[in-house]
């Protein structure tokens, strides 16, 4: 009887449902870890003038462009990062390396501006492109873990899981493209308008961003299957009897 209950419970847990890995939960764990690392490292007081100057030079080269060239600089770069993160094993290490590297740059920027890197991170977090771009990297890395799981388990759902991974990659491309459009628009507004409109107008980008994010969440749940109704495993009375007293 106890063994039967264990058999029933092992299929449903935080990470598994009906014996299958839940992609949405992988994404959630990775995204929480990502935000925690950003908060922890960006709040540090770091000093590296050479690295900071290199970052500012690259940033200025992008900020000086018009909208379309700026978008064509941001989107392919971000997509390359996400594509690397799709690679099994390598992608996971690259994911955390890129998070730490970006968080260090944010901390250095805070030091360069004589303020806390946490404040710099907060100013990025209140803009909509951040909530489009950062989840994309967590989804890409989650896909690399899901691909490892799929290759190891295989089974009769192998094709459907590989199809899901392909759709997830297309979803990441779409989300990063939208994120690039929002980020380019926000940068143009920041460098065009004087204070306080250089912050107010980018914040108004939340008006179109909210419905876009809602639609992307709906699409993500459709692709990953996390929006489906939970299917209960049926157990007949004979299963309990057989498990309790043994089969002949």
3-state secondary structure 201-229: HHHCCHHHHHHHHHHHHHHHHHHHCCCCC
Beta-bridge mates of residue 17: 20
Does any domain span residue 115? yes
- Predicted pLDDT of residue 226: 56
> How far from each other are the two terminal CA atoms of the chain, in whole angstroms?
16
pLDDT at 4 over 50: no
- What does the pLDDT average to over 156-161? 90
Beta-bridge mates of residue 21: 16
Does any domain span residue 106? yes
Q: How many domains does the chain have?
A: 1
Express each pLDDT in 55-87 by its tens digit: 889 888 998 999 999 999 999 999 999 999 999
Does any domain span residue 97? yes
- Predicted pLDDT of residue 245: 40
- What does the pLDDT average to over 88-105? 96
Does any domain span residue 7? no
Torsion of Cα atoms, 125 then 131 then 137 then 142, to 10°:
120
Does any domain span residue 2? no
Express each pLDDT in 193-236 by its tens digit: 998 999 999 999 999 999 999 999 999 999 998 545 444 444 44
Does any domain span residue 6? no
User: Which residue range forms the structural domain that includes residue 204?
Assistant: 22-227
CB atoms under 10 Å from CB of 22, counted, come to: 19
The model's pTM is 0.86
């Amino acid at each position: 009887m106890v063994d039967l209950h264990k058999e029933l419970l092992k299929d449903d847990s935080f990470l598994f449902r009906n014996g299958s890995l839940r992609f949405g939960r992988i994404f959630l764990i990775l995204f929480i870890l990502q935000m925690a690392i950003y908060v922890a490292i960006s709040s540090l007081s770091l000093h590296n003038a050479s690295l900071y100057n290199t970052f500012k030079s690259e940033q200025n080269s992008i900020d000086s462009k018009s909208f379309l060239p700026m978008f064509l600089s941001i989107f392919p770069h971000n997509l390359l990062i996400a594509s690397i993160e799709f690679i099994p094993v390598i992608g996971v290490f690259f994911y955390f390396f890129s998070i730490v590297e970006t968080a260090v740059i944010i901390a250095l920027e805070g030091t360069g501006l004589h303020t806390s890197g946490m404040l710099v991170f907060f100013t990025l977090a209140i803009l909509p492109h951040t909530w489009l771009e950062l989840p994309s990297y967590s989804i890409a890395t989650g896909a690399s873990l899901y691909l490892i799981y799929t290759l190891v388990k295989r089974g009769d759902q192998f094709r459907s899981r590989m199809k899901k991974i392909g759709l997830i990659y297309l979803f990441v491309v779409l989300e990063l493209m939208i994120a690039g459009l929002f980020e380019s628009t926000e940068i143009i507004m920041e460098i065009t308008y004087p204070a306080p409109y250089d912050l107010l107008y980018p914040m108004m980008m939340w008006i179109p961003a909210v419905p876009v994010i809602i639609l992307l969440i709906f699409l993500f749940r459709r692709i990953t299957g996390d929006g489906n109704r939970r299917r209960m495993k049926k157990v007949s009375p004979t299963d309990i009897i057989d498990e309790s007293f043994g089969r002949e």
